[in-house]
Amino acid sequence: MTAIEIFVKMILDRWNGSIKNCDALLNSLSDETLQREIAPNKNRGIYLLGHLIAVHDDMLILLDLGEKLYPQLYEPFLKSPDKTVTEIPSVTELRIFWNNQCEVLKQKFDDLKPEEWLTKHTAVSAEDFAKEPNRNKLNIILTRTTHLAYHTGQLVLLK
């Protein structure tokens, strides 16, 4: 394996492990439990699940892998705080979205060659990327893995 292949594998293994951990946790929590706040006056589990799906949906755009799967989740789960939007999908719907999205992302990630991970993401200009080549697709996976782990830690509080 080349150094690039090793780094890409390490980061994608961590991403996949974090998805697996979050998925196992979500599967252990009932729909009713996900309606609860993680702590008094904090986000509900359903909001965190919708938020993760919305953030991961943005990755498709950032990584230039296609259009969002669930653009309708932007307003209630990224733009708005929890409990301010009255109409949101059910936990059952969000679980279906989560599972589908995880499968789609895995397939698209698996299709990228290691070198492609070091190319620029769509939120950086060619000029800025020339100055800061670390603003690449692989870096998006690093930051989103940390984000996922953070919110998985919050969801654990529902157990």
Say which CATH number the domain at 77 has. 1.20.120.450
Q: What is the pLDDT of residues 35-54, one digit of tens each?
A: 999 999 999 999 999 999 99
* Rounded CA Rg of the chain: 16
- Give backbone dihedrals phi and psi of 112, rounded to 5 degrees, phi first: -80, 140
Domain count of the fold of the chain: 1
- Provide the domain limits for residue 11: 3-156
> Which residue type sits at 83?
K
Q: What is the pLDDT of residues 114-134, one digit of tens each?
A: 999 999 999 999 999 999 999
